Amino acid sequence: MTRRITDDGRIRASLPTIDALRERGAKVIVCAHLGRPKGEVKPEFSLAPVARRLGELLGTEVAFASDVVGESASRIAGQLADGQVALLENLRFEPGETSKDDAERGAFADRLAALAELYVGDGFGAVHRKHASVYDVPRRLPHAAGGLIATEVGVLKRLTENVERPYAVVLGGSKVSDKLGVIDNLLGKADRILIGGGMVFTFLKAQGHEVGRSLLEEDQLDTVTEYLARAEKAGVEFVLPVDIVAATAFAADADHDVVPADAIPADRMGLDIGPASGRLFAERLAGARTVFWNGPMGVFEMEPFSHGTRAIAQGLIDSGAFTVVGGGDSAAAVRTLGFDEAAFSHISTGGGASLEYLEGKTLPGLSALED
């Protein structure tokens, strides 16, 4: 089976830095990862299609190494001429890339660093990981941040320092546990927080409502209840859906109806926010001057459950605010649903990295570049 790229957003985001290096005569060796092969060579996670697409976008051939630090990588790195580009095979095929053992990770970093003379970190989507290519290699070579990372950090500073208010945050996605840290930190910074996606059902359950067979994290109910109380005390407006698209099954052709958010049938699961919620959320975004959005409002990949996410994207555009789409599924949704990326102030290439920055955490990849 020939694998194809369905979203080349992150590849395109890397082009300015690669082109800038080529124009200066650098021999560019690109390192990247795909999926979670867990230190094993798995053909379905090969970066060969990425090399082809990168070459198309750059308008030049990109040499592809069939390994990461082996014979193929060494040969191709040694043969590069000034201005040429090579891509190594998936970094995560090597167990040392993601190892928690400093010695194992360092040994792999030594071999990777030996292929180059300088390091430019531009993979913002991975800077929250203490991985060899992100954290250890820049500690072994002269290093600098690429244009993409510089842009991403500049945008995130606008969301955390001297924010133009009102400041609205839209959070969705499947699990509330993935967003606890950012909610905790934003309770003291945001003016209003809008909640949708699968994570909303834990909030609705915490308010005593029936959520049927919807996604639910019962172990987070107490935390969510505490956050709602803290928000009220701090004067932060929490906006929850007023209606839900509830289906009989997790399938695009499943029977579904719009029901009140506090009356989801016991035999149904919520797969999107409803139309009234989409209008409500858009209204709450209309007066904002800064908006950060991370996480879809429903299962946007299935057309019947894509309308809530579409409403949020359009709400950001119509708000006239400084709008940041926080990477991951939100960025994929923008492209999948056909929105013009230029209509948003910034579309991040790193969902997890953006969230951890907003949580106030130290990101290993950034700290390595700052040394």
Residues known to be catalytic: 10, 175, 328, 352
Report the alpha-carbon distance of residue 14 to residue 24 in Å, rounded: 16
Q: Is residue 301 part of an annotated ligand binding site?
A: yes
Residue 33 known to bind ligand: yes
Contact predicate 358/185, CB 8 Å: yes
Q: Residue by residue, what is the 3-state secondary structure of 2-25?
A: CCCCCCCHHHHHHHHHHHHHHHCC
Query: Is 256 one of the annotated binding-site residues?
Result: no
Q: Does 179 carry a binding-site annotation?
A: yes
Instruction: End-to-end CA distance of the chain: give it in Å, rounded.
Output: 44
341: which DSSP letter? G
Confirm whether residue 327 is marked as ligand binding.
Answer: yes
Q: Is 329 annotated as a binding residue?
A: yes
156 has binding-site annotation: no
Tokens of 228: 């709602």
268 known ligand binder: no
- For residues 346 and 325, what is the distance between their CA atoms, to the nearest angstrom? 6
Residue 260 pairs in a beta bridge with 243
What b/e string do you get for 348-371 counting C-beta neighbours within 10 Å, with b at 16 or more? Answer: bbbbbbbbbbbbeeebbbbebbee
Among candidates 172, 130, 168, 201, which has minimal Cα distance to 351? 172
One-letter amino acid for residue 105 of the chain: R
Q: Annotated binding residue at 10?
A: yes
The reply to whether 34 sits in an annotated binding site is yes
Backbone phi and psi for residue 243, each to the nearest 5 degrees, phi listed first: -145, 160
Q: Is 315 annotated as a binding residue?
A: no
Q: Is 83 annotated as a binding residue?
A: no
Q: What DSSP letter does each residue of 282-308 carry, written as one string?
A: HHHHHT-SEEEEES-SS-TTSGGG-HH
Please answer whether residues 109 and 86 qualify as being in contact, where contact means their C-beta atoms are separated by less than 8 angstroms. no
Nearest-angstrom CA–CA distance, 313 and 293: 9
Q: Is the peptide bond before 166 cis (omega within 30 degrees of 0)?
A: yes
Q: Is 348 annotated as a binding residue?
A: no
Residues annotated within a binding site:
10, 33-36, 92, 129, 179, 270, 301, 327-330
Residues annotated within a binding site for substrate:
10, 33-36, 92, 129
Residues annotated within a binding site for ATP:
179, 270, 301, 327-330
